[in-house]
A and B are shown apart, each in its own frame.
Chain A
Amino acid sequence: MPMLDDNVREQVVDFLKDLAGPVRLMMFTQEFECEYCAETRQLVEEIGELSELVSVEVYDFLADGEKAEQLGVDKIPAIAVIGAEDYGVRFYGIPSGYEFTSLLHAIRTVAAGKPELSEAGVQALAEVTEPIHIQVFVTPTCPYCPQSVTLAHQMAIASPHVRADMVEAMEFPHLAVRYQVMGVPRTVINETVHLEGAAPEPMVLEKLQEALAGTEG
């Protein structure tokens, strides 16, 4: 049974029709597929059928451990969205519900390799020289979450030092506990700084600076 019905397929084709360049969806699962691994794999495979510029590669988390390590993939299901380079755009857990939109946005902006951020945002991110890891915790039923996920991914595209993950909180309960996630979206920057809700770009940038100041101090 296909996951995307005809109506959605048509919309996806339309959404991806003007991709600026090729995109690789590198998906990690394992032989005995984890909860939602099979669905996530099927989802990316179906998306791959809808654009000539989107290619899908499925890897085994254990057998292809080297590849996983190289991409910083530490849990599954995982999708790395790779364009002309690896901008650090990742999805952990199935991008279903509202997060399907985040995945499509990620494909489109990674293809372009140009972040959709304000000039000030691009400028601020160009000045980042320390590694930044943004994790955005979501649930698939959260309409506010894609805004945070997409913003984090844009920031990853804007700076080679920034990587950004969508993390589906229900699939990784140990992370939800570790980062005290009781509401989404919750953005965690470099383990130390966190932010509640779909915050606008300037607010996230401020938190990013805070996290950087923390690493220096």
Chain B
Amino acid sequence: MDLGFLPAGLEPYDVLVIGGGPAGATAALYTARAGLRTLVVDKGLTAGALGTTAKIVNYPGVPGPLSGAELVRRIRDQAVSFGAEFVTDKVLRVDLRGDPKQVWGGEGVYPAQAVVIATGAMGRTRRIPGEERLLGRGVSYCATCDGPFFQGQEVAVVGNNDEAVEEALTLTRFASRVHFLSPTADLRASPELGEALAAHPQVTLYPTARVREVVGQERVEGVRISHQGEERTIPVGGVFVYLQGNIPVTDFLDDQLPVGQGGCLLVDDSFQTVIPGVFAVGDVLCRHLKQAVVAAADGVVAAMAVDRYLSGRKKLRPDWSR
């Protein structure tokens, strides 16, 4: 039996980066190269804005065209070559004021001296009609949590990225049929995952499906969609939603950092937030030009500041590393 216990006694990382897009992965590249023990926690290659961009032609020095996912992968590989570690996990909450700071993922707790937030701006803004009302009554955001409640039933998954596909595949272990409602014609997921989904006998794919409403009185009874020019309601007992939007992803911070208009994070010139040792870079910031090369540059500046912050601490506390 998997007890899933994750250590609180792990040796803290020097730097923990949340988000492995151009900003986060570049920060990791620089901190790792500076000899700092660096961990990047990321939801997956195609979780963010760059990872889901089909074609990049304007990244300096990389004439392309290449896919955003490929560019992210190259930056990550470069970071790994300097010793950065990457884990695929979803950050659920953080304690930024503790010492060490703690980051809770689905897979465990990651302690670190410094934290760099690079979660981007693909948070959701709008809900589907009926979604909020039926939350916990068939609407869910976690297939591993709630899949067992839908044993033998038909369910719908709404989304198109890696996370949506992985969750849909998890649901096939419980549900008799998974209706996969993708807002786009092509999936924004890695090819392997996309193929696994398309080939799965319990999965029905609906490309370019618009979800109009989650319907049901006391519990979810179906989803109303428009698909290929017609409206229809698919009867399902559960709806799992993994849509993305365009607001900064800060929900896991639980009000530990002040946010500006639109929920973006505020930082100083060195990308440090109001909490010492906590930095933020990339699209999660306010008034930010949303370009990969700008995000990457943020990562560099923040990495330098992290290094200064940590070496300053060492001087203050010579016994820190014991």
Whether A143 sits at the interface, judged by CB under 8 Å, is yes
Which residues of chain B (250-305) have a CB below 8 Å from chain A?
Answer: 254
A14 touches B9 (CB 8 A): yes
Q: Binary interface profile of A, 139-171, with partner B (CB < 8 Å = 1, else 0)?
A: 111111101000000000000000000000110
Residues of B within 8 A of A141 (CB): 144-145, 147-148
CA distance A104 to B7 in the complex (A): 11
Whether A96 sits at the interface, judged by CB under 8 Å, is yes
Whether B152 sits at the interface, judged by CB under 8 Å, is no
A197 touches B6 (CB 8 A): no
Whether B320 sits at the interface, judged by CB under 8 Å, is no
Whether A182 sits at the interface, judged by CB under 8 Å, is yes
Q: How large is the interface on B (under 10, 10 to 19, 20 to 34, 35 or more residues)?
A: 20 to 34
Q: Binary interface profile of B, 68-98, with partner A (CB < 8 Å = 1, else 0)?
A: 0000000000000000000000101100000
Whether A200 sits at the interface, judged by CB under 8 Å, is yes
A98 touches B4 (CB 8 A): yes
Residues of A within 8 A of B142 (CB): 142-144, 183
Q: Binary interface profile of A, 3-44, with partner B (CB < 8 Å = 1, else 0)?
A: 110001001101100000000000000000000000100000
A183 touches B146 (CB 8 A): yes
Whether B140 sits at the interface, judged by CB under 8 Å, is yes
Q: Tally chain A residues at the interface, Cβ within 8 Å.
A: 36
Residues of A within 8 A of B137 (CB): 180, 182-183
Q: Binary interface profile of B, 124-155, with partner A (CB < 8 Å = 1, else 0)?
A: 00000000000111111010111111000000
Q: What are 30 sample pairs from A and B whose C-beta atoms fall under 8 A apart?
A: A3-B1, A4-B3, A8-B3, A8-B5, A11-B8, A11-B9, A14-B7, A96-B3, A97-B2, A98-B4, A100-B3, A101-B5, A139-B146, A140-B4, A141-B144, A141-B145, A141-B147, A142-B146, A143-B142, A147-B104, A170-B148, A180-B219, A181-B149, A182-B137, A182-B238, A183-B137, A183-B140, A183-B146, A183-B149, A197-B135
Mark A residues whose CB is within 8 Å of B: 3-4, 8, 11-12, 14-15, 39, 96-98, 100-101, 104, 139-145, 147, 169-170, 176, 180-184, 186, 194, 196-198, 200
